[in-house]
Amino acid sequence: MKNLNKSKILVASPLLPDLKLFEQSLKKIWESKWLTNNGEFHKKFEVELCKYLGVKYLSIYTNGTLPILAALQTLKITGEVITTPYSFVATTHALWWNGIKPVFVDIDPVTGNLDPNKIESAITPKTTAILPVHVYGNPCDTKKIKAIADKYGLKVIYDAAHAFGVKVNGKSILKEGDLSTLSFHATKVFSTFEGGALIAHNQEIKQRIEFLKNFGFADEVTVVGPGINGKMDEARAAYGLLNLKQVDAAIDRRKKVAKIYRDELKNIHGIRYMYDMKGVRHNYAYFPIFVDEKEFGVSRDALYEGMKVYNVFGRRYFYPLISTFSTYRGLSSALPSNLPVATKLADTVICLPMHHDLSDSDVERVIDSIKKYYKK
C-alpha cells in the first residue's frame, strides 16, 4: 500500500471552465451592466441547454430546489404525493412547503429508485401525483410509473437532479413525466456554482413556469399570480455555457473511473455496487457501494471513518433516510417496517469519490483504503 496519507481525495470536485474564458464572459457582463433579469447569457444558456439535453422547453433557476417547488405549483398539486424516502431532503421538503403530505414508498434494491410495484397500494382518494427520483442518475421505470399514473389520473414530476444528460435508448430521460427538474449544484456532473432547471413539454406550461419564476410578472405593470424569485444571474449562466463545452469529456472520464472501481472491487466479498443499465447512456454522477458487515469484516460506518484516516472522504448518500427526520417520522408511511429496502441501502451505502479530476493513482488510493479494512 503506497502513499495513502497524501492530499485529500474528496467525493466530488466541481466542473470548472477555463478561467480566462470565464473572465472574458464576466467582462462582457460588466460592460453591459446587465447582471440579471433574463439577460443575453441567460437566454443563450437556456437555448444551448435545450439543444444539449434534447428537450424543447426549459427554464433555468438559481438553485435546484426551486424547480421542484415551482413544478408542484405549476401543476397545482395538492393533497398527497407518493415519493421516495431515499433521496436528498429537498425532494420531500418541496412537498411540505407546498402543504402537501408526502407518502413514502419503498425502493428497488438494484437501482435505488422508487419501486413501481409498491405504488398502487399507497394510492388514496387524496393522491394527486407521484414524485420519483432518478437516484444516482439511474433512470426510473418510467413506463410502469406512467401506466399507474394514467390509470389513476395522477401527475408525474421527476426529480432528475442526478440525471443530467442521461438517455434511454437515445431518448432524454427528461422527456418523461409531466415535468422534470435538474440541479446544477457544484457537486453535480454539470454545475453553475448553484443552479437548476425545470423542463416542460409545451409552450403553455413553459409560460406558466416563467410567471412563477419571476414574481408572477406578465409585463411591467401586470402580475398574474403569486410567483417567487427563481431567476439565475448572468454570471452563472455564462459559467454554465462554458461548462457545456466540457461536460461530455467529464462524463467520459467518470465512466473510466467507474470501470476501474468495478474491476478492482469485484473480488472483494461484502462490497456490492451498481451496474450500467441496458440501453442507458449514464452520466456516472455517483459511485455508491453497499457494505455487508458480515462478509466484508467491518461495518459501513467503520469503513467510512477508516477511509478518512487515509484522506479518502466518501459520503453516506443517502443516509439517514428522509423518513427518519423529525418532520416526517410521524407519518404512517415513514415506518421502517414499511421501507425495508430503503432502510438497508441507507444503512450500508458509501458513495466513493467520483469526479473528472480523479487520476488513476487517486482511484488506486481509494481502493487501497478499502482493502485496508477488508476482513480486518
Domain boundaries, the chain: 19-244, 247-371
CA nearest to 370, candidates 320, 305, 317: 305
State pLDDT tens for residues 302-344.
999 999 999 999 999 999 999 999 999 999 999 999 999 999 9
Q: What is the DSSP letter of 268?
A: S
Per-residue model confidence (pLDDT) at position 2: 45
Per-residue model confidence (pLDDT) at position 375: 84
Can you list the residues of the chain whose pLDDT is less than 50? Answer: 1-3
Query: Does domain 247-371 sit in CATH 3.40.50.9100?
Result: no
- Please state, in angstroms and rounded to a whole number, the distance separating the CA atoms of residues 209 and 47: 16
Give the residue carrying C-alpha cell 441501502.
345
β-sheet bridge partners, residue 82: 103, 130
State pLDDT tens for residues 198-241.
999 999 999 999 999 999 999 999 999 999 999 999 999 999 99
Instruction: Please give the CATH number for the structural domain made up of 19-244.
Output: 3.40.640.10
Per-residue model confidence (pLDDT) at position 99: 98
Alpha helices in the chain (DSSP H): 19-32, 40-53, 66-74, 90-97, 142-152, 203-213, 234-244, 247-265, 293-296, 300-309, 340-348, 360-371
Per-residue model confidence (pLDDT) at position 1: 41
